[in-house]
Chains A and B, each alone.
Chain A
């Protein structure tokens, strides 16, 4: 069965420092991986995706993610965190055999302090 794990409920980072939000996945076929961000009282906003090709994917707001097939991971990264990056981050996967539904992780709350 497909699954996504986000092992950290919360990540705390000082502004200006690099941040990493972790995600590991399990699928039966080739994975299609996504990161979404949710600000308070807002819907899920698409950040970036990995479908194929370069393992380092760049997305919105300076975020990037690294796909690692051997470790079945897709960690979200940013070189220099901003206070405005504080939000809830969701990793999601779609199996190549699915009709389109996304399987989400439980979310990681990112808190960036000045």
Chain B
């Protein structure tokens, strides 16, 4: 069964450093998402991406964040200058279509620790 993969599983970085989180969505999916979950809190939407552009983003997704699909398979989330409060589990997801009835399939997550 195809699944979403994410690398690395755990990333430790110092405050102010740039990090890139990588995801490989399911191959025939067209819509891609990033969510995050701060320890003990809800899973929160960050951004959705379709046809090489952002289709929706939350208030959390400020200028420090960017997303890219650099090739036909990877989907990345970049945090330009990490802050302590960026420490969280980051989940990538993909779906066949963006219409509301299609479920999203999630990767196992990358745990980001900012020190």
Most chain-B CB neighbours within 10 Å: which of A45, A92, A95, A101?
A: A101
- If A41-B108, A43-B4 touch, whether A103 touches B103 (CB-CB below 8 Å) is no
Interface 9-residue window, one of B13-21, B62-70, B73-81, B94-102:
B94-102
Whether A32 lies near B101 (C-beta < 8 A) is yes
The 8 A CB mask of A33-58 against B (1 = contact, 0 = none) is 01010000111111001010000000
Query: Are A96 and B100 closer than 8 Å at their CB atoms?
Result: yes
Cα(A96)–Cα(B41), bound, Å: 25
* Contact status A104-B100, CB under 8 Å: no
CA distance A32 to B100 in the complex (A): 7
Q: Is the CB of B42 within 8 A of A100?
A: no
Question: Is B25 among interface residues, defined by CB-CB distance under 8 A?
Answer: no
Q: Contacting B106 at CB < 8 Å: which of A36, A49, A98?
A: A36
Given A99-B48, A101-B58; A44-B91 close (CB under 8 Å): yes
| Option from A42, A45, A51 in Cβ contact (under 8 Å) with B101 | A51
Number of A-B pairs, beta carbon distance below 8 Å: 64
User: Cβ of B106 and Cβ of A101 under 8 Å apart?
Assistant: no
Give per-residue flags for A84-112: 1 if the beta carbon is below 8 A from chain B beta carbons, else 0. 00000010101110111111111100000
Contacts of A43 in B (CB 8 A): 4, 6, 91, 106-109
Known contacts A41-B108, A43-B108, A106-B42; is-contact A100 B100 (Cβ 8 Å): yes
Tell me whether A34 and B103 are in contact in the complex, defined as CB-CB below 8 angstroms, given that A100-B98, A106-B42, A107-B42 are known contacts: yes
Nearest chain A CB to B15's CB is how many angstroms away?
26
Which residues of chain A have C-beta atoms less than 8 A from B31's C-beta?
A: 100
Contacts of A51 in B (CB 8 A): 100-101
- Please state if B101 and A102 are interface contacts (CB–CB under 8 Å): no
Give A109 Cβ to nearest chain B Cβ, in Å. Answer: 12
Apart from A43-B4, A100-B100, A107-B42: 7 A-B pairs, beta carbons within 8 A = A36-B106, A43-B109, A46-B105, A94-B100, A98-B100, A102-B35, A104-B44
